[in-house]
Amino acid sequence: MLAGARADEPSGGRHGDRMPTPLTPVAGVPSLVRALDALRCSETVDGGLLAGPEMRHGRHGGTVAELLAAGDFAWSAPATGPAESALKAIERLDSWPILLTTGDHALLSAQTVDGFCAAASAQDADLTVGLAPHRLVAERFPALKRTRLRFADAAYCGTNLFYLRSPKAARAIAFWVNVQANRKRPWRILGRLGWRTLAAYACGRLSVDGALAALSRLTDCALGWVAVEDPLAAIDVDSAADLAVAEGILECRSRSC
């Protein structure tokens, strides 16, 4: 699980104390605690590794120490960014398959984890990504703006769920590292993807399968995808709007208990 902070992250929360986003309280409980609870309650996940956050003094470090006390999850210091942290964690785990997710996934549920892993394990791919149909997300949260990937067959939102079946999946993560490194020089990324593929996407003629096939050739790693029908899987807490939505959902659940 990725639980660090970007190097340029200003505060990671609305409280101004420079905490990493995964430690942002969501309805009174840090996002990382909620996400880790979902993994621990799933039938698929059996321990793992927290890639961050930094072990600091005070309540931040105390929260991380409490999470590690059970012994089923180990900890490693985060790298310079999420992609680098993921690659570092994969190299340390070196056991397959691996479920990769993020610590700001406050609404993640054990049922979603198990459903995603079951569907992804049936894919003949080195790395499988979970995509939530944008239609379902928009129906559930009509006022919330979500980044959508517009393909010829449908539009999707990311879920921060990745199923790594084999060591070849590290090649796709390494490509992600390169993309992150060149995010201020987008022409380098565009050139590698190929103008024909980009033109097809811009014109709405590129399917999900077509996009992943192009990326598979580029990374020498077979990429696949599965639809995640739970719209909550598309919500993280890396913005004030998303945080407000997550807190509203969790507080509603608490009142109905």
Taking only the tens place, the pLDDT of each residue in 88-97 is 999 999 889 9
Higher per-residue confidence, 257 vs 213? 213
Q: What is the pLDDT of residue 190?
A: 59
- State the DSSP string of 74-123: EEE---SSHHHHHHHHHHHH--SSEEE-BTT-TT--HHHHHHHHHHHHTS
C-beta of residue 247 within 8 angstroms of C-beta of residue 27: yes
CATH classification of the domain holding 133: 3.90.550.10
Secondary structure, 3-state, 15-79:
CCCCCCHHHCEECCEEHHHHHHHHHHHCCCCCCEEEECCCCCCCHHHHHHHHHHCCCCEEEECCC
Assign 130 a pLDDT band (cuts: 50, 70, 90): very high
C-beta of residue 32 within 8 angstroms of C-beta of residue 63: yes
Read off the pLDDT of each residue in 181-207 and give the average, rounded to a whole number.
76
CA 80/CA 13 separation, integer angstroms: 19
* Number of domains the chain contains: 1
- State which amino acid sits at residue 102: T
Lowest-confidence region among 71-85, 139-153, 182-196: 182-196
Q: Residue 233 above 60 pLDDT?
A: yes
- Mean per-residue pLDDT over the chain, rounded: 87
- Most distant pair of Cα atoms in the chain: their distance: 53
Q: Residue 12 above 80 pLDDT?
A: no
Q: What is the pLDDT of residue 185?
A: 62
> Which has the closest alpha carbon to 132: 240, 26, 233, 30?
233
* Residue-range definition of the domain harbouring residue 47: 21-256
For residue 73, give the 3-state DSSP assignment: strand
Note whether residue 176 is domain-resident: yes
Q: What is the pLDDT of residue 20?
A: 74
Note whether residue 2 is domain-resident: no
The Cβ-side half-sphere exposure at 34, using a 13 Å CA radius, reads 22
Note whether residue 6 is domain-resident: no
Which residues contact residue 39 at a Cβ distance below 8 angstroms, ignoring those fewer than 6 apart? 1, 45, 48, 99, 101, 108, 110, 113
* Bridge partners (DSSP) listed for residue 150: 155
Note whether residue 1 is domain-resident: no
Note whether residue 235 is domain-resident: yes
Assign 60 a pLDDT band (cuts: 50, 70, 90): low
Q: Residue 5 above 70 pLDDT?
A: no
Note whether residue 4 is domain-resident: no
Note if the pTM is more than 0.85. yes
Q: What is the pLDDT of residue 197?
A: 85
